Amino acid sequence: MLRTHTCGELNIQNIDNQVVLCGWVQKSRDLGGMTFIDLRDRYGITQLAFNLDVNVTLCMEARKLGREFVVKATGTVKERESKNSKMSTGDIEILVTAFEVLNASQTPPFTIEDNTDGGDDLRMKYRYLDLRRSPVRSNIELRHRLAIETRNYLDKQKFLEVETPVLIKSTPEGARDFVVPSRMNQGQFYALPQSPQTFKQLLMVAGIDRYYQIVKCFRDEDLRADRQPEFTQIDCEMSFVEREDILNTFEGLIRHAFKAVKGIDLPVLKRMSYADAMKYYGCDKPDIRFDMRFVDLKDSVNGKSFKVFDEAESVIGIVAEGCSDYTRKQLDELTEFVKRPQLGANGLVYVKFGADGTVKSSVDKFYDADALKVIGEKCGAKSGDLLLILAGNDDKTRKAMNELRLEMGTRLGLRDKNKYECLWVLDFPLLEWSEEAQRWFAMHHPFTSPLPEDLTLLNSNPGAVRANAYDMVINGVEVGGGSIRIHDKGLQKEMFTILGFTDEEAQNQFGFLMNAFEFGAPPHGGIAFGFDRLCSLFGGSESIRDFIAFPKNNSGRDVMIDAPSLISDVQLKELAIKIS
């Protein structure tokens, strides 16, 4: 090694040791007869000291070192005069006796400090410099730790990590495929896997029994902060299991990860049916760090000549505790919030249950104090509370109320990112009707089995059939999902028919799986976790990009390597592709 120690490990115990350190110049300052340089590497920062009185030439040379120069410094560990208790190496400095510039550097386009002056775009363009910053590096370290702990746990549970191919045929996970043209089979394309779904099922037919893979998946979708065109899953599958076995095994994984990575003992995961999640929270991934459940008020508000409520399909209220003193301005803000085109509510009704027992409402023309108190009781509102009510079409009202509930949770500080509430959401509908396509779609994917007790409804009332599926939700984020699969060829065929595939189409796309099911497919089921999302949750950040070494931007571009890009005419010709 070019060094004896790293920049993060020397302390008071090393006084008078002769050491050699290597790293980057973070900053340098001249104070009278002394020059100090902060030398940085992955492990920390150590102060180098040069004394003008002791060695003029060396000190003058040190003064020439620019930011991000790569330096090898030899010297003696000394106790510092002014210590810095915030740094692990803050008690010592290195009195340098010799140094060598291993490489010069241009002035970096932004400061390589915990709080940088670099904007997003610039940091992405020079991501290798951004990665030198300790908050970014510690995210990557967290990702590594989570991967290791995942492997440790699954290995102990006898899961085999098996790699599946990246050049495959389209998998129907509901998103658009990325495709890759084949030179050797002109006019034909591979698809990049949206997930290894069909392969992991084939591995079960192959008798692998327990499979996992930390694997890249690709979906050509519109991007958001928590979506990337390529993302990583912890993908798992097990044979000879029922739903309960999967829930236990992967609850175990999450508990292990929380304990090992964050030192947190998770309580037993709560469970909620999809129907209840929609009823009480208006979404299938409720944030249960706070209560504020929906209360159905339709029956309590009817018949008072308030048309908006009388004509609404749904009237839903939530109680914001201790908010009865909300000002006009605050209420206007909330009204604007729910009226945004994305939510599309027509308005917001409020009832203030004052601490002094008074009741004030935006609809007191129609509801006297007694009527409002009855409504308040129904919601469990106490004096000092604010009741917020939305009305309209059921679907839309629930969606808008979900957003309003989350907004109130945020405003009231009820969504502490250091508090974790994990939940299994169970019994999703198997199918979703698309008005546009006029056909059923699989809510999860077409290999998901119906709950055994709902099987008889499959033909008579497909919309009522519940899936043997489950999602894991942490703090309102869906971190994983899976299902017990169909392992019977007949049922799988029936499923494809319900989904509008002709026999020929099904055979064409999924013949390989259906054929495999002819050769003794075991009962099986599995789950996949969004690994990037788990990392960002563990790290307390909204954006998965912060936990990916080289992420893409919102337009799916890697601005550092400038991809995607044009390819040469020669390449196009080889592929027999013409760009129109």
Residue 173 vs 291, nearer CB to ligand ASP: 173
Q: Which stretch binds ligand ASP (CB under 6 A): 366-374, 478-486, 539-547, 550-558?
A: 478-486
Q: Which stretch binds ligand ASP (CB under 6 A): 58-66, 297-305, 325-333, 476-484?
A: 476-484
Single-letter amino acid, residue 122: L
Pair 254, 265: CB distance under 8 Å: no
The binding track of 500-529 with respect to ligand ASP, each residue x by CB under 6 A or -, is --------------------------xxx-
Residue 236 vs 379, nearer CB to ligand ASP: 236
Q: Which two tokens stand for residue 324?
A: 């009865």
State the Cα–Cα distance between residues 569 and 572, nearest whole angstrom: 5
The set of residues, in sequence order, having a beta carbon less than 8 Å from that of 557 and lying 6+ positions away, is 563, 564
Single-letter amino acid, residue 260: A
Residue 480 CB, nearest approach to ligand ASP (Å) = 8
State the Cα–Cα distance between residues 576 and 442, nearest whole angstrom: 36
Which residues ranging from 4 to 23 are in contact with ligand ASP (CB under 6 A)?
A: none
Residue 195 vs 402, nearer CB to ligand ASP: 195
Residue 578 CB, nearest approach to ligand ASP (Å) = 34
State the Cα–Cα distance between residues 199 and 466, nearest whole angstrom: 25
Which residues ranging from 121 to 180 are in contact with ligand ASP (CB under 6 A)?
A: 173
The binding track of 340-379 with respect to ligand ASP, each residue x by CB under 6 A or -, is ----------------------------------------
Residue 481 CB, nearest approach to ligand ASP (Å) = 5
How big is the chain, counted in residues?
Answer: 580
**Diameter over CA atoms, the chain:** 93
Residue 194 CB, nearest approach to ligand ASP (Å) = 7
Could you count the other beta carbons within 10 Å of the beta carbon of residue 263? Answer: 7
Residue 467 CB, nearest approach to ligand ASP (Å) = 10
Residue 436 CB, nearest approach to ligand ASP (Å) = 22
Q: Which stretch binds ligand ASP (CB under 6 A): 79-87, 88-96, 475-483, 561-569?
A: 475-483
Residue 195 CB, nearest approach to ligand ASP (Å) = 3
Residue 326 vs 531, nearer CB to ligand ASP: 531
Residue 39 vs 527, nearer CB to ligand ASP: 527
Residue 126 CB, nearest approach to ligand ASP (Å) = 33
Quick one: which H or E segment has residue 105? Answer: none
Q: Which two tokens stand for residue 252?
A: 């175990």
Please choose, from the candidates 314, 480, 328, the residue with its C-alpha nearest in 3D space to the C-alpha of residue 402: 314
Residue whose entry in the numeric block shows the structure tokens 């958001």: 224
Residue 164 vs 361, nearer CB to ligand ASP: 164
- Helix H segments across 206-294? 243-257, 274-281
Sequence-ordered strand ranges (E) for 342-411: 349-353, 359-361, 386-392
Quick one: which H or E segment has residue 31? Answer: strand 18-31
Residue 171 CB, nearest approach to ligand ASP (Å) = 8
- Contact with ligand ASP (CB under 6 A): which of 35, 46, 483, 509? 483
Q: Which stretch binds ligand ASP (CB under 6 A): 147-155, 277-285, 481-489, 570-578?
A: 481-489
Using alpha carbons, list the distances in angstroms from residue 478 to 210, 349, 409, 531: 23, 31, 18, 11
Is the dihedral angle over the CA atoms 131, 136, 141, 144 positive or is it negative?
negative
Residue 173 vs 221, nearer CB to ligand ASP: 173
Pair 243, 191: CB distance under 8 Å: no
The torsion angles phi and psi of 162, rounded to 5 degrees, stand at -120, 130
Residue 483 CB, nearest approach to ligand ASP (Å) = 5
Residue 403 CB, nearest approach to ligand ASP (Å) = 24
- Contact with ligand ASP (CB under 6 A): which of 481, 498, 510, 538? 481
Residue 90 vs 196, nearer CB to ligand ASP: 196
State the Cα–Cα distance between residues 328 and 169, nearest whole angstrom: 57
Q: Which two tokens stand for residue 125?
A: 């363009």
Is 431 a residue that touches ligand ASP (CB under 6 A)? Answer: no
The binding track of 526-545 with respect to ligand ASP, each residue x by CB under 6 A or -, is xxx-----------------
Residue 19 vs 204, nearer CB to ligand ASP: 204
* Geometric angle at alpha carbon 430, from 426 and 434, rounded to 5°: 130
Residue 359 vs 472, nearer CB to ligand ASP: 472
Pair 37, 25: CB distance under 8 Å: yes
Residue 139 CB, nearest approach to ligand ASP (Å) = 23
Residue 75 vs 193, nearer CB to ligand ASP: 193
Residue 176 CB, nearest approach to ligand ASP (Å) = 14
Residues in a beta bridge with 168: 191
- Convert 157-201 into a string of H (helix), E (strand) and C (coil): CCCEECCCCCCECCCCCCCCCCEEECCCCCCCEEECCCCCHHHHH
State the Cα–Cα distance between residues 204 and 522, nearest whole angstrom: 7
State the Cα–Cα distance between residues 412 and 400, nearest whole angstrom: 18
Could you count the other beta carbons within 10 Å of the beta carbon of residue 97? Answer: 14
Total residues at interface with ligand ASP (CB under 6 A):
9
Residue 95 vs 175, nearer CB to ligand ASP: 175
Which residues ranging from 187 to 206 are in contact with ligand ASP (CB under 6 A)?
A: 195, 197
Quick one: which H or E segment has residue 521? Answer: none
Residue 124 vs 528, nearer CB to ligand ASP: 528
| Residues forming the site for ligand ASP (CB under 6 A) | 173, 195, 197, 481-483, 526-528
